Amino acid sequence: MSTMFAADEAKRLLDAAIRGEMPDELGRFGPFGGRYVPETLVPAFERLDAGVQEHLHDVTFQQEFRRELREWVGRPTALTFAPRLSEIWGAEVWLKREDLAHTGAHKINNAIGQAILAKRLGAKHIIAETGAGQHGVASAAACARVGLPCTVYMGAVDIERQAPNVDRMHRLGAEVVAVESGDKTLRAAIDEALRTWVTDPAGIYYLIGSAVGAHPYPYLVRELQSVIGQEARQQMLDQAGALPDVAFACVGGGSNAIGLFYPLLGDDIELVGVEAGGTGPGLGQNAATLATGTPGVLQGSYSIILQDDDGQVQETHSISAGLDYSGVGPEHALLQATGRVEYISATDDEALEALEELCATEGILTALETSHAYAAAKNYAKRNPGKRILIGNSGRGDKDMPTLTKYPARTRKHAGA
């Protein structure tokens, strides 16, 4: 696997990541990450950074966080063997079921952790952004749980295609603000949330939904989401009797993927992140940031982004709202650059076909985001028969029904179905 570093430098950086030494004190994952924010937001980020250092690994914070994960979120989530899919693919397929967590996706792990932190930092109001709507739902639920008002910014395009989640947010007590600027998707929603935070950085807490943005957010989200990989690793040993040969996760901003991958970095396991290949390889046709992007700064962090030759950030396309983002978390950029994780893409059509096969064979309606990982895992199984495969099933697909109804179920019969 190619890297952007010489072999010794790649090993040094990867070893540091495995030892938990990244990000460094400047919030950098090797050359990536950092903090590139307007001067008006510097005090807010410094206050947040200090709060993370003080509270995140404090015993009382961790006790409260773990209790909420256990008693409210419903962790540990199941590890499910997929017998019919395994037979069809010629592999041993296991699913880490984040779709079974409260609110239906991995997003709740991060949302409740940050909501607890916000309360400890004295915030009076929480704002959040969302693409697929799952982070918005999780934020609304977490804010209700801790007793803080919540406003969620969501692109107008995403509001249209994720109507069920918009209704859920309203019912959970959140205000949903439609963002009509920019590309009207996740990137525009993040921009609007940042603009709001500037107006009252002391009283507002910005609950970011993915492992992106300026330091300390990529670190904070990774730490809160690492429960996924920690559980999956032990469950594989307990239920399968061995670790997987390979683990797959879909990648937009990258929170569910880094949550699964980070605890597995030191193991002899192939790790594969799957981005949205959309309808083609051209700019604007996909959201395959790591496959086709270049280094640059987006929304406070130096990472890999989709931009033209003049450095203008490009609009993206994906059938899945949660992968429709022009950037990616800086830790993923490092893991690609060191060669530790392979990042590939799956198209809209491949994702739809994978979703359909999973429904027909295992009775699981997964999210369109997650179905990209299934598509890539199936292709891997064809080339590597008999392998033990772990797939991060990041969320359930109920939210995608307005989109799926535009693509009637195909009449093809899946082998064994």
Question: Catalytic: 107?
Answer: yes
Give the residue from 94, 79, 96 showing the smallest Cα distance to 388.
94
Q: Exactly one of 92, 96, 98, 107 is catalytic; name it.
A: 107
- Distance between the two ends of the chain, CA-based, in angstroms? 36
Residues in the chain, total:
417
Q: Exactly one of 210, 255, 371, 394 is catalytic; name it.
A: 394
CA gap 78, 213 in Å, rounded = 30
Give the C-alpha distances (Å, rounded to integers) separating 370 from 114, 132, 228, 274. 24, 12, 15, 9
- Asked whether the beta carbons of 1 and 290 are under 8 A apart, the reply is no
Q: Exactly one of 64, 68, 92, 129 is catalytic; name it.
A: 129
Give the C-alpha distances (Å, rounded to integers) separating 334 from 31, 93, 288, 337. 8, 28, 16, 5
Question: Catalytic: 378?
Answer: no
CA gap 195, 200 in Å, rounded = 10
Using CB atoms within 10 A of its CB, is residue 55 exposed (0-12), middle (13-18) or buried (19+)? middle
Give the C-alpha distances (Å, rounded to integers) separating 191 from 153, 198, 275. 9, 11, 22
CA gap 129, 139 in Å, rounded = 9
Hey, which residues are catalytic here? 107, 129, 394
